[in-house]
Amino acid sequence: MSQDFAGRTVIVTGAAHGFGRAIAAAFAARGARVWACDRQAEGLAETAPLLGPNGAVRTVDITDRAAVQALVAEAEAASADGAVDVLVNNAGGVLGQVGRPIEEIDAAAWQSIFDVNLSGAFWCAQAVAPGMKRRGGGRIVNISSGAGLGVSLTGIQAYASAKAGQIGLTRQLAHELGAWGITVNNVAPGFVRSNPTTERQWEAMGEAGQARLLGAIALHRLGTVDDIAAAVLFFASESAGWISGQVLSVDGGK
C-alpha cells in the first residue's frame, strides 16, 4: 500500500501538539508540503522543525472564516495545480471546560465548543472545496472522537454533541462532493494521552479509573498519536479512493 505524498499539498489544523503534530509530521515524512495551523504559536514553533524545508506553519483561528479562507488561498497559490490535496480537520477539544450539570451551562460555554469542533471544520472544508472541484479530486479527513459515537468521558454535553455533528457533516459532505472525486471520511479516536488536557483527565481518573478504562479496551492498552496518524494517512492515500462517508474508530477495540 503506497503512502507517498510527494508533491501533495496538505493542510492540518490543530497542529501545535498531539494528534495534529503527529499527523503533520507523518505527511511531511512522506514528501508532502504541509501547512500546519493552530492558534497556539508556541506549539507551532515546536511543530515546525518536524515538517522539513517544504513545511509551513501559520497561526490561524479556524473559527474565523476569513482567516481560514486566507490560509487556503496562500496554500493554493503555492501549489503546483492551485488546489489543496488533503485537508485534515483536527482542531478541536474542550477548551479547558470540565463536566458540569446541564443547568449550569451558559450560552458562551456551549457555543464555543461548537465553534471550534464543528463550525471550524465546516469553514475549512468550505474553503478547500472549490479548488478540489476544479482539480477533480481531493481528500478531507475529519478527526472526531469516540464521544461523537457514544458519550463523552468528560461529561461535557457540547463536546459529545459537536463531535456527533461533525460525523453527520462528514456523511453529508461525502455525498455532496463525491461527484468531483472528493472523499470525506472521519477518524474517531479513543482516549489517547496526547496533550495537557488528556494528561489531566488521565490523572484525575486515579488508579482505579485508569484500570477500568484499560479493562474496557479490547487490546488493554492506550493508543498513541501515531495510531491516529496512521488512520489519517490511510484515508488520504490512493488505497482509500473508493471509501467515503465512513467513520473509523481507532480505539483499541470497544
Q: Residue 23 is inside which H or E element, if any?
A: helix 18-29
Instruction: Enumerate the H helices of 136-181 as residue ranges.
Output: 157-177
| Spatial separation of the C-alpha atoms in residues 113 and 147, rounded to whole Å | 13
Which residues on neighbouring strands pair with residue 9, listed in sequence order? 33
Q: Residue 34 is inside which H or E element, if any?
A: strand 33-38
For residue 177, give the C-alpha cell: 462532493
**Longest CA pairwise span in the chain (Å):** 54
185 CB burial (10 A radius; 0-12, 13-18, 19+): buried
159 a catalytic residue: yes
| Spatial separation of the C-alpha atoms in residues 87 and 89, rounded to whole Å | 6
Closest CA to 92 of 152, 30, 134: 152
Out of 159, 161, 174, 195, which one is annotated catalytic?
159
Active site residues: 159
